[in-house]
Chain A
Amino acid sequence: MADRRRVNGPVGATIPPVFEDEEVQTQETQRVTRSRAPNGIRKMYLKTGVTPSASGSAYLEIETSGKDGVSGLKLSCTVHGPRSLPRSSPFSPHIILSTHVKFAPFATKQRRGYLRDPSERDLGTHLEAALRGAIIADRWPKSGVDIIISIIEGDQDRETSGAQGDDTWDMMNALSGCITVASAALADAGIDCVDTVAGGVAALVKDGGETGTARIVIDPISSEHESIEAACCIAYLPTRDEITNLWFKGDMPDHDMGIYSELVQQGIQASKLANRVLVESLGETVK
């Protein structure tokens, strides 16, 4: 499908680099296990005001786990608004939020195209739900605000094969980063919110092969564990103690519903830690 407005590559399909088998196997035996505490998140760097021409903007970077080939997360968010809605749209007594999340073509292991695919639209919908609960919408009737997130680098291990299904868990990490950075950009734009919302991920992981026990960790990286059974991404308002968005995925033993609420609690913990970083960086902006 040739896009006439872009420079298209060759007509034939190109193959992404496939690496020698021996190398992949040695990488697997050298797998780095998680060195952080089960309730510790990775270091985050958050800065606002990177795009002066936008109403508000923020940039988030989460550190890599130190292993060669495992990238961290790099997100850039711009907020445009509140701006007036086009004349054709009907009257709305509250602000209309429109979110747009896009992976850069060089962000992930597989090169992505320029058109949004369903997973990116899904992230946008989750993000909108998370932020809608935090914005005071009634203050801005007949207005719209655009939140645009570009994911410059996704959280993905280059060597782990796609068959492990890491994509889903990386989407969760990306979503929690998106929520945090969008919240910072909204604050930078001066849009009234009841509270700062931050995202956190908690997962049920299994290490140690068949006999291993499952445990709950926060801020998981799929390459650090043998398998991730289930994960949950939470958008949480700390002062009001409210969850604005909850996304849960995976397999869980059905005999123990306690694990589910434990996962949610850990997700809230992760959110609170991310929120601390968020508030600190916003405090620096104000100064």
Chain B
Amino acid sequence: MEAPTLSFSRPLFAKLSPHPYLLRNLSPASPADSPCRTNGRAPHEARPVHIHTGSLSHAHGSALVRTGDTTVICGVRGEALPVTSIPQYRPKTVFDADNSGTGIGRGELKDYDLLVPNIELATGCAPQFLPGVPPTALAQTLSTRVYSLLLAARVVDPANLRIWYTPPKEGGDAMDADEEDEEESTKPQLMAYWVLYIDLLFISFDGNPFDAAWTAVMAALRNIKLPQARWDPDRETVVCSRANAAPLNIRGLPLACSAAVFLEKEHAEGGEGRHWMLLDPDRLEESLCREVVTVVVDCSSGETRLRSIEKQGGTVVGRELVRGFAGVAEGRWKEVSKAMG
């Protein structure tokens, strides 16, 4: 009597033994078939990205980014921080006109914590992210990465965040000040800063959270419209006007691109066996790969500028692969910046 043959459906096979399943898909038996991943994409193919901005009415800027099944919503709110509330505040008498070289501007953002990004994963977006627990290591890592990239890429110009006050001349009216000094009138004083609270909420999680989160942050910052603010000396606080809400002057458009490295042998040492770089990994692929590379490029000025290279988890990706990957990141930049409009 012959033993009955077992045959599994594809999703069942994916659940029982994911590594061989993905390996079989990437290295097909016949050379005519091109390698493809379990989600049907080629290894260098990323999911299309959809961006909607301005949908929240209580936030000064907002963006909803959808990359496949990963959905993240970002809301940016500005609140005023009087300089009197800053401990050990020392007024700077000289401000860089364009904040390009010496990094004085960056000092303000970092010293006074003017940018506050936070990523919330515990919204039930995936079965492993249930609420009621403090932020997991992944959430903390993502928040920190977004924070350090925001400061390093210098996209926000601290000049937009300063709130000035010019004390009136004798017999004159108080003016809304700008930064130029006039010889006759008194010098404008810096009375407060705008603090931007950048909150990201993951509604659905299917891999590659950093790319989606960073795209949402950039889209929301470009969408933000801060109300016009002035310092009221009588009430000693910042008073805003809805009349001319102005957008921020965002420098450049750095966008992130990540890939995971899938090894033929699960516990390979020293780079034996083949490897594939899977662009924009989804949840299944992320769970099977230990090594991840993220490159942030900015092509908005015409030439490609590399803003950040991060890689962790393994030793497969070296200089050559990173160089090649930067080229892939350029292509991804064009796709995403087109979606941003």
Contacts and interface: CB of A to CB of B under 8 A. Distances in A.
Interface of A: 5-20, 23, 50-54, 57, 59, 64, 69-71, 76, 78, 80, 100, 102, 104-109, 111, 114, 146, 148, 150, 152-154, 156, 158
Contact of A78 (B113, B123, B227): B123
Contacts of B283: 53
Contact of B57 (A7, A19, A153): A153
Contacts of A64: 57
Nearest to A19: B240
Contacts of A154: 58
B130 A80 contact: yes
A9 B59 CA distance: 17
16 contacts: A5-B140, A8-B116, A10-B112, A12-B82, A14-B79, A18-B239, A18-B240, A54-B204, A71-B58, A76-B123, A78-B124, A102-B123, A104-B199, A105-B199, A152-B73, A158-B57
A69 to B, nearest CB: 7
Contacts of B195: 9-10, 14
Interface in B181-201: 195, 197, 199, 201
A72 to B, nearest CB: 8
B120 interface: yes
Contact of B58 (A10, A53, A59, A106): A106
A269 B241 CA distance: 42
Given A9-B197, A15-B238, A51 B131 contact: no
A95 B291 CA distance: 40
B266 to A, nearest CB: 23
A106 B238 CA distance: 21
A152 B56 contact: yes
Interface residues of B, number: 59
A17 B192 CA distance: 12
B201 A7 contact: no
A11 B212 CA distance: 29
A71 B81 contact: no
Nearest to B235: A18
Contact of B79 (A6, A17, A20, A107): A17
Chain A, interface SS category: loop
Interface string B75-96: 1111111101111000000000
A154 B57 CA distance: 10
Contacts of B69: 51-53
A9 B58 contact: no
Given A12-B85, A146-B130, A54 B124 contact: yes
Contacts of B113: 8-11
A38 B188 CA distance: 55
Would you list the 9 A-B pairs with minimal beta carbon distance, nearest first?
A: A12-B85, A106-B75, A148-B124, A78-B124, A14-B79, A71-B57, A51-B204, A9-B116, A106-B59
A69 B56 CA distance: 10
Nearest to A111: B77
A146 B56 contact: no
Given A7-B147, A53-B125, A105-B75, A18 B238 contact: yes
B118 A51 contact: no
B127 interface: yes
Q: Which of A80, A105, A156 has the most CB of B within 10 A?
A: A105
Q: Which of B86, B114, B135, B242 has the most CB of A within 10 A?
A: B242
B126 A7 contact: no
A6 B135 CA distance: 8
B67 interface: no
Given A114-B118, A153-B56, A78 B125 contact: yes
Contacts of B135: 5-6
B97 to A, nearest CB: 26
B79 A16 contact: yes
B322 interface: no
B205 A53 contact: yes
Contacts of A18: 237-240
